[in-house]
Amino acid sequence: MNAAELMTTPGALANNNLLLWLLMLVSLLCVVLAVLLMRLQRLNRQCRAQHELREQDRQRLTESHQLLRHLIDHLPQLIAAKDQQGVYIECNQSYLNFLGLSRDAVVGKRTRDVFTSNDIHRSMEEQDEQVRLSKSSHSQSRWLAGADNELRLISTQKLPLVDSADRLWGVLSISEDTTAENQMRQIDKHRNRVLEQLAQGAPLLDIFNELVTFTEELYPGLLCSILLLDDRSQTLQLGAAPSLPDFYNKVVHGIRIGEGVGSCGTAAFTGRPVLVSDIQNHPYWRGFEELTAKAGLAACWSLPIKNRQGKVLGTFAIYYTEPADPTPDQMELMMVNAHLAAIAIEAAKMDEQLSQLSQAVEHSASFVVIADSEQRMDYVNHSLMEATGYRSDQLKGQPINMLAADDEDPELQESIRQTVQQGEIWHGERRFKGLDGQGFWVMSSVAPIRNADNEVTHLVCVSEDITALKQEQERMARLAFYDPLTGLANRRLFKDRLDVALKQAQRQQQSLALIYLDLDRFKAVNDEHGHEVGDELLKEVALRLQQTLRESDVIARIGGDEFNIILPDVTDSDAAEQVADKVLQAVVEPFVTGDIELKVSASIGLTLYPDDGVDAKQLIKNADVAMYRSKAQGRNCRLRYTA
């Protein structure tokens, strides 16, 4: 059988078909495998791409986290976060620096592990609990000791941490060191208190004690000294140093100033601040080591007390029991105290000078002019020429009024002429002018000189330059006659203005109204919110009164929460009552300071001249009676006085 026959046999055909099917199956499997391989490769590429994207996202997240960490760590605020169980989960570097701890010593710990004081960590945990329960912010200030064991006033705001579904998961605290701001507020109050003492004419020693006591209370551990410079002996005299040992003060009292004579002797001699941080090793204190060691003094910072002309009046010094440099806040307070001490010393000297001038001005003079009966100058002394810039030949033969300032009131000159013609001595202040046209104030006495026939032959004008005195009087008058808190007239100025207004009303036969206003329950405001809020309320009341009343009306704060108002030239009682009602309405408007809203009321007493009284004492008394009747009636109302 040949091959062709073999292949055409039934058995051969069956085998061929089987082989063909096998080939087809293998081909199909190859195609499937190829497709699967392509899909696997594509899937692999997709996986690698997704992995790269995830890696890029992780890298960006890491970089963002590092950036956020860098930003938060460089913020001055103390920032920390805790979970719901009160465990620290994060904090910034400022927080760690304040505590003096590492991140590992804080993160993962509780408040009681970080703050050892039971009172402090209980208070913090209670504050955290309030935030968690209310899911709202909470603020609080407390004194805390940091890594340097120095107490600092820390103001903290705590905020709830919630997720996108508003579920609470922790508490965030943001704290700030407000010690400096608090001290500045205290210093401002201290300055105002001293200025008020000056306005009330307090003794110099009382002012010194206030400066020393406030400083020592604000900075426990500091000891203060005020020394006065005696011009004649160039020695330092003890002004006030109640906390320094007596044996130390006895040595310092009367010590002669000079370069290298301690901190105060050097400051008074050079007129510059002297800050010695280590007494035992400073050349200025050589020879005083045993004395200061016995007194327990290790550092001394001294500032010269100067007047406005730069003349040294004394020194204000602070001692410390450890070697140290003053902080910026302490330096600021020292400068404030030195300035206030200068004002007090100058005021005391001014009072003394005024007392002497009142007795000696008629018998001694800086400027002397002798004029003939025609009031032409015959003689001028050297002091007058030096003050005015004129030569003697430029003044002799000229009218005496040549020295008068250009804006001098002609009525004043006529008053001087008539007084002298009547044989009397004229005393008063006037303004002279120099060769350059500049005016200056003088205190003058113009007296007639008579001959044997009682005829006026000459005039003697004795004057002294009081320009500086006038400027000081204006400044002191501001302190003496105005309330330092509100800027309104004080009790003293009010009485003066009331007397003037009554005289004018009597002359012109006009009516006058007096309002006595007292805030209701003002003490409760101070007790609940503090005197700072109370002071802000008083200033706002003063502003509202000024906005409500006329410029011609006189508004005065006579003490505490009491205000008096003079309404000159009122037409009748109805007009006065309408003004009183407007005043009451202005006062009762809600008052807002910070996050505090206050609603206050007032009781007003009203009295009229001449219906209710004809003198100041009677009007004030009747207004006071009406005001208390207003309070008795239920407060927040206005009553007219009735007998």
Rounded to whole angstroms, the Cα distance separating 298 from 292 reads 7
pLDDT tens sequence across 526-578: 999 999 999 999 999 999 999 999 999 999 999 899 999 999 989 889 999 99
Which of these is catalytic: 483, 518, 561, 612? 561
Residue by residue, what is the 3-state secondary structure of 291-339? Answer: HHHHHCCCEEEEEEEECCCCCEEEEEEEEECCCCCCCHHHHHHHHHHHH
- Residue whose structure tokens are 């402090």: 120
Quick one: average pLDDT of 435-458?
Answer: 87
Q: Is the pLDDT of residue 369 over 80?
A: yes
At 3 the pLDDT is 43
Q: What is the pLDDT of residue 558?
A: 92
pLDDT cut 70: percent of the chain above it? 93
| Residues 115, 82: Cα–Cα separation, whole Å | 15
- DSSP secondary structure letters along 473-509: HHHHHHHHHB-TTT-SB-HHHHHHHHHHHHHHHHHHT
What are the angstrom distances between the C-alpha of 12 and each of 2, 443, 535? 13, 154, 122
Judge whether residue 412 has pLDDT over 90: no
d(CA 229, CA 209): 18
Which tens digits make up the pLDDT trace of 42-63?
877 777 777 777 776 677 655 6
**pLDDT reported for residue 498:** 95
Helices H, strands E: what count in the chain?
A: 20, 22
Q: What is the mean pLDDT of residues 319-323?
A: 93
The average pLDDT across 420-429 equals 86
Instruction: Say how many C-beta atoms besides its own lie within 10 A of residue 58's C-beta.
Output: 10
Residue 517, number of CB atoms within 10 A of its CB: 27
Structure tokens at 185: 């507020």
Q: What is the pLDDT of residues 484-523, one digit of tens each?
A: 899 999 999 999 999 999 999 999 999 999 999 999 989 9
Higher model confidence: residue 71 or residue 592?
Answer: 592
Q: What is the mean pLDDT of residues 399-423?
A: 86
Predicted pLDDT at 66: 67
Q: Is the pTM of this model over 0.75?
A: no
Mean pLDDT value of segment 461-475: 81
Confidence check: pLDDT of 64 > 70: no
pLDDT in tens, 269-311: 999 999 999 999 999 999 999 999 999 999 999 999 999 889 9
CA 221 from chain center: how many Å? 24
Q: In the predicted model, what is the mean pLDDT of the chain? A: 86
Angle in degrees, CA 456, 458, 463, rounded to 5: 125
Catalytic site includes residue 465: no
Cβ atoms 627, 607 nearer than 8 A:
no
Tell me which of 1 and 84 has the higher pLDDT: 84
Q: Residue 352's pLDDT is what?
A: 76
**CA 516 to CA 622: how far, in whole Å?**
9
Distances (CA, A) of 33 to 23, 27, 29, 40, 601: 15, 10, 6, 10, 95
Compute the average pLDDT of residues 119-125: 84
Q: Is the pLDDT of residue 358 over 70?
A: no
For residue 278, what pLDDT is reported? Answer: 95
Backbone angles phi and psi of 69, in degrees to 5: -60, -45
Please return the burial class of 255, using the count of CB atoms within 10 Å of its CB with bins 0-12, 13-18 and 19+.
middle
Residue 11 confidence (pLDDT) = 62
Q: Does pLDDT of 213 surpass 80? A: yes
Q: Which domains does the chain have, with CATH numbers?
A: 73-176 (3.30.450.20), 183-357 (3.30.450.40), 367-471 (3.30.450.20), 482-640 (3.30.70.270)
pLDDT of residue 99: 87
* Cβ count within 10 A of residue 399: 12
